[in-house]
Structures are given as structure tokens and as C-alpha cells.
Amino acid sequence: MSTFTSTKQEKRFAIRGSWWINILFVAFALVVAYYLFNLIIYGKCAGGCVVGILSQSLVYATPIAFAAMTGLLCERSGIVNIGIEGQMLMASMVGYAVNVYAFQALQHIMDPTAAGNISRWMALLCGVLATVLLGLLLAVVSIKYKVDQIIGGTVINILSAGVTGYFYRQFLASDVPPGPGTFPVVAIPGLSQIPVIGPILFDQKPLTYTMLVLVFFVFYMLFYTPWGLRVRSVGEHPRAADTLGVNVNKTRYISVVLASVVAGLGGVWFTLEAVDTFSPNMTNGLGFIGLAAMIFGKWNPLGALAGALIFGLGSSVTSILAIYRPDIPSQIPQMLPYVLTIIVLTGVVGRAIPPAAENTPYEKQ
């Protein structure tokens, strides 16, 4: 019985083709975009403004990258998850509710700072737990009951919209006790003092760091460990994997659950890191944009991160544009990320081939 080991052949596929040309191309595009942008806002963005934009785009990229990692882990194992949007919405609602009410309860038995810390971590945990439950629903429905996975994802989206809206109206719309607020910014000592890179990379909130670490961790796990090879083989050719002794459905269950943990992190980002309130439909399509980032990255974590960063950059540029050019209707820049998504999906950056066994339930012989 042969065991799975990652070979040299595999490693070459991890970063596809001539990657340095891609990097050169992206750098060139960024420079061009920067000059165009300055042309539009009459050259008012330089120095600190640029650092601000880049730092902000990393912030905006965080939920998108989390969503992309979720989609990636699911799809690499052969499960299409379009319910990420709903999962994140659920996590953001649960996170907010737990954060506020746990703080209210804990306030009386300890000092507010400690209570805030504990309630935030509890909120994070509960948000993740909620998405894992939704993920299990998707997994059971699509693996055990062999329902079309797109329908399964749609169920999750509608269900989450309903559940979050319901709890919002019943418990969170009014008379909400004051909460402990979002995670504070954690400047990494030493590294955050580096001139340009410091404020961009090392002066962020915890989930943003988590995201950056996670992307590389997922990359390593998928392409350099036997587990990753199993996941990918299950997504590409489940029968072959099964023949070699991989438990296809178990692998898929595990992937979906892990992916849901990631989606939970992306969801609680909205209420534990971005803003201190919950509003219905606050995820606003970022889950779907995450899927687009994943496709942009050709189902590769590093590429997906690049895609997420581009979307993040688009969002932060939009907010700067609103400041310097109020005469441009805000809807036009607001449309840009969505237009960009469609352009990305049409394969302008090269045709992306999804895992072969996507959306097909596995039937053991």
C-alpha cells in the first residue's frame, strides 16, 4: 500500500508557471493605477495618504480573504460553498450578540477591561461555532443527502438572512446594553516602527494578522502535507483517492468544518473588528466577492490573497475618492468592486480551472 507523500512534481504546481511575470505585471498595474488615481483626485494623495490606503486595503481585504479561504478549502475537497455569505452573516450576528450580552453579565464580577477581553473571545468562539453548525448542515445535505450544493448554499443564505434578521429585530434592534467594543489595534513591538511596512503590516487588529498567517498556513497545508494531497485528490478524482484508501466523505466533512471555522473568523470580523454594531445584511456580498478572489487566485491560497488585496485596495481607494471628489456620484466607485469581480470571473487574468469533482456527490462502489 503506497502512502501519500508530496513529491517534487507537486511542489512545482503549487505556484503556477512563471510567477515572477505575474508579480511584475501586478506591480506595473499598481503603479499605473496609482498615477491614474492621483490624476482623478488632482494629485492629493502622496506619502502618508498612500500608506493609509494600503493599510486600509489590508483591513478591507481581511473578510474577503477569509471568505476566499473558506471557499478554497471547500472546493478543493469537491464541495461548492456559496453559503459563505450566509455563514459570515450568522457569525457576525452571533458574535455581536454574545459580545454585548456576555459583557453585560461579566461586568458585575470583574473589571471592565478583563470582562471586555473575555467577552470578545467568547463572541469569537460562538461566532465560529455558529458557522460550523451551518457548515455541517451544508456538508450533511450535500454529502449524505446528495442535494445540489448550490441549492444547499442558497438554503444557508436564506436561512441566515432570516435567523439574523429575526434575532436582530427581537433582541438587538433596541435597548442593547453597551458593549465592550471591538478588538483593539495590536501594534507589534519593534516591527511596527519600520517606516512604510510597519504601519501597513504590523499595526493592525488581531484578525487581520490571523488572516495573513492563515493564508500561508492553508497554502502549506494544502500543498506540502499528506493531508493537503488527500483533500486535493478528493476534489479532483474521488474514485482514485478512494481506491488508494482515502475516506472521501470523511475528508470532505473535515474540510467543510475547517472551512467553516475560517468563515466564522471572517464573519466575526464585521462586528468584533470593523464596527461595533450589527445591521441586517451587513456582509453586503463580501462572501461572494471572496469566491471571486478565490477564482482569481486559481484556487491557490496565495493567489486568493492577492485577489482579496486587490478588492481591498478598490474599497479603500473608493473611500478616499469620496473625500477628494464629492462631485463624482458615490455609486460609481461603489460599483467598481462588483464590476471588477465580473471582469475577474471572465478570466481576463487567465482561465481558471476548478477542481474536477466539484458539486458531485461521491458514491462508493
Residue ranges binding other proteins (CB under 8 A): 82, 141, 145-148, 150-152, 154-155, 157-159, 161-170, 239, 285, 288, 291-292, 295, 329, 331-332, 334-335, 338-339, 341-342, 345-347, 351, 361, 363, 365
Minimum distance from CB of 196 to other proteins (Å)?
A: 33
Q: Please, what is the minimum distance in Å from the beta carbon of residue 144 to other proteins? A: 8
Cell of 32: 499605473
Least distance (Å) between residue 298 CB and other proteins = 13
* CB of 66 vs other proteins, minimal distance in Å: 17
Nearer to other proteins, 45 or 139 (CB): 139
Distance CA 186, CA 210 (A): 12
Could you give the CA distance from residue 185 to residue 196 in angstroms, rounded to a whole number?
17
For residue 329, which amino acid is it? P
Q: How far is the CB of 332 from other proteins (least distance, A)?
A: 7
- Identity of the residue numbered 211: M
Distance of alpha carbon 42 from alpha carbon 50, whole angstroms:
14
- Strand positions, DSSP E, 237-307: none
Closest approach, Cβ 239 to other proteins, in A, equals 8
Residue 8 or 364: which CB sits closer to other proteins?
A: 364
18/365 with CB nearer other proteins: 365
Query: What are the b/e assignments for 208-234, b being 16+ CB within 10 Å?
Result: bebbbebbeebbebbbeeeebbbbbbb
Q: What count of Cα atoms within 13 Å lies in the side-chain half-sphere of residue 230? A: 20
Give whichever of 10 and 358 is closer to other proteins, judged by the CB atom.
Answer: 358
The amino acid that residue 207 corresponds to is: L
Which residues, listed in sequence order, are joined to residue 203 by a DSSP beta bridge?
187
C-alpha span between 157 and 153 (Å, rounded): 6
Cell triple for 308: 482579496
User: Under a CB-based contact definition with an 8 Å cutoff, are residues 246 and 230 in contact?
Assistant: yes
CB of 185 or CB of 332, closer to other proteins:
332
Compare residues 116 and 361 and give the one whose CB is closer to other proteins.
361
Least distance from C-beta 341 to other proteins, angstroms?
A: 5
- The nearer residue to other proteins, 96 or 223, going by C-beta atoms, is 96
